[in-house]
Chain A
Amino acid sequence: MTAAVQEALELDKVESHLHPEGSFDVEAHEVPKGREEIWRFTPLKRLKGIHDSAPFADGATKVEVEAAAGVTVETVAADADVRGTSGLVPTDRVSARAWAASTGATVVRVPTDTVVEGATIIRHQGTGSETAGAGHAVIVAEKFAKATVVLVFEGSAVVADNIEIVVEDGADLTVVSVQDWADDAVHLSTQHAKVGRDATLKHVSVSFGGDVVRHDFSAEYAGPGGSVESLGLYFADEGQHIEHRLFVDHTAPKTKSNVVYKGALQGEKAHAVWIGNVLIRKEAEGIETYEENRNLILTDGAWADSVPNLEIETGEIEGAGHASAIGRFDDEQLFYLQSRGISETEAKRLVVHGFFNDLIRHIGVPELEEKLTSTVEAELAKNINTLITKDNA
């Protein structure tokens, strides 16, 4: 790295609500009351106390690893040096508590120059334990490595975790986090990525199941030329709370970020929250960022909040934009399809299928595509009765 670049990376302190001071000290984070900006959408009463002082223990989930050839997966002690290498510093109490409570960490490592075929899958199966679990994982793609890592969460559990992602210079990493929990699960995940010079990260969050699922994904850049694509897909059912909070911190010049989250909501009190924060620092000249969130409300009684925030400290950028939409079915689309003989229910199914289809194809993990498409279909099928009732209303 040249001296000039090195200098450019000496970051000034930013006075920004988008960039709270983190701390590893649990007591530095007050117990949230629900009025705090970062907690105002989250149903604290349903968090089983993990935001306060509920105990953590091992055994909330069973972990199974299917490592692709060339990828190493190991469990290390909690005091291993690899923890913290992504630059993750907890900015809320749940993340700080999970950090303090986790008794070890799963480390996924893709060695330098290794191009891996196929996905490495880490499956977390909830055991139904009453006691919450605290997880920690570090995913490292070393220089010029290329790989896909999929985290799957299933079953019943209460989990708080920190997932660290380190993409070294020139590496190309895809990380997919699939929350396919049972209806009673609670999952608060803090995922943070450090993206190296000319490195590429595709981060995908897919949320279907769970009572409360909240995912905070943030990314920073360790050098110029890095690129982050952050994709999300969610389907909130009756009574479900699914929240995604994104923060892309453009800490280096010539970096890129593209955030696209799409969700469908159906049923009484289905609630989706999307907060998309982007900070373009003074040093981040020549960057390009775009963020987009689209919500499709399928039935009455569902509610979506969508808040994009963009803070720009330099005007010397290539582009910055955002879009946010919450809508119902488009009458013109439905009319067009129905005028070809397709029933209203089937027309709605096609529109939702199409709504997600582009995004699913874009994830680029063949192992997942079919599964995601069929899960979307299954979610729709749950509600087909409601849709039919609406047809006849």
Chain B
Amino acid sequence: MSTLEIKDLQVSVETEDGPKEILKGVTLTINSGETHAIMGPNGSGKSTLAYSIAGHPKYSITGGTVTLDGEDVLEMSVDERAKAGLFLAMQYPVEVPGVSVANFLRTAKTALDGEAPKLRTWVKDVNGAMNKMHLDPSFSQRSVNEGFSGGEKKRHEIAQLDILDPAFALLDEIDSGLDIDALKVVSDGINDFRAREAKSVLLITHYTRILRYVKPDRVHVFVAGRIAESGGPELAEELEANGYEKYTTAGV
């Protein structure tokens, strides 16, 4: 079970000219087993939504609530949110020089489970996940995200999703910068995850392209820090045909 409830979420960031409000009251419920897509133009605040839920220190919550199965997410530290079942795949995954992928994954898995993974199955699991993402097994010995191509970084994020097996995945522009082959590999990874029991996904994207491979249950159009419209998968098709113009001009 993992139901994420976001109610009237308001978020601001510090800028040189003082605090700037980015999210202006977002309300959204994602039930267990559902995949929701959030689509919107650049600067609409859709990434801020993902980072705020994950607890990035840059964002101040000025109002509203976020709960996961009734637990107050906003009260939790970043690692507690991960332990509660949240996972954020980042648009720009961060380099951690000198820390190998293998060491990183093992440390994360141990932290999440409260015990070290069984050595016998662990290596097999990691290699399997790498293999599914078309990453060479030697990838585990490289430093986290250091010198990775854009596509490798994204595939590495999805390999983590596979291995760490959270209840709820926030995927922030996982499709950006991917060629069509890499997009299919990443989409397969997301679909594998979704096929597991009671997994929820919040897929944030600028383009409709990925939605041909990852079918959402609900689509939300995000404009100027708010959800401007919600609908079924057909809403994505409409956006594909007409773009965001209708929302951006109406919003001004």
Contacts and interface: CB of A to CB of B under 8 A. Distances in A.
A333 B107 contact: no
B99 A354 contact: yes
Contacts of A229: none
A335 B95 CA distance: 11
A338 B82 contact: yes
B57 interface: yes
Contacts, number: 83
Contacts of A357: 98-99
A389 interface: no
A247 B55 CA distance: 46
Contact of B111 (A341, A353, A354, A356): A341
B78 A355 contact: no
B79 interface: yes
Interface string B60-100: 00000000000000000111011100011010011111110
B77 A344 contact: yes
A341 B97 contact: no
Contacts of B98: 353-358
Interface in A55-82: none
A63 B90 CA distance: 55
A351 interface: yes
B48 interface: no
Interface in B91-124: 93-99, 103-104, 107-108, 111-112
Contact of B82 (A332, A341, A353): A341
B215 interface: no
Given A335-B78, A338-B82, A342-B79, A351 B96 contact: yes
Contacts of B58: 331
The size class of the interface chain B forms with chain A is: 20 to 34
B164 A340 contact: yes
Contacts of B57: 331, 335
A346 B97 contact: no
A343 B99 CA distance: 16
Interface residues of A, number: 24
A220 B78 CA distance: 51
A339 B82 contact: yes
B79 A341 contact: yes
Contacts of B56: 335
Given A333-B96, A346-B111, A357-B98, A338 B103 contact: no
A356 B99 CA distance: 10
A332 B94 contact: yes
Contacts of A339: 54-55, 78-79, 81-82, 87-88, 90
A358 B142 CA distance: 11
B108 A358 contact: no
Interface in A320-375: 330-333, 335-344, 346-347, 350-351, 353-358
Nearest to B166: A341
Contacts of B12: none
B108 A340 contact: yes
Nearest to B54: A339
8 contacts: A333-B96, A339-B54, A339-B79, A339-B88, A340-B112, A341-B79, A341-B108, A344-B79
Interface of A: 330-333, 335-344, 346-347, 350-351, 353-358
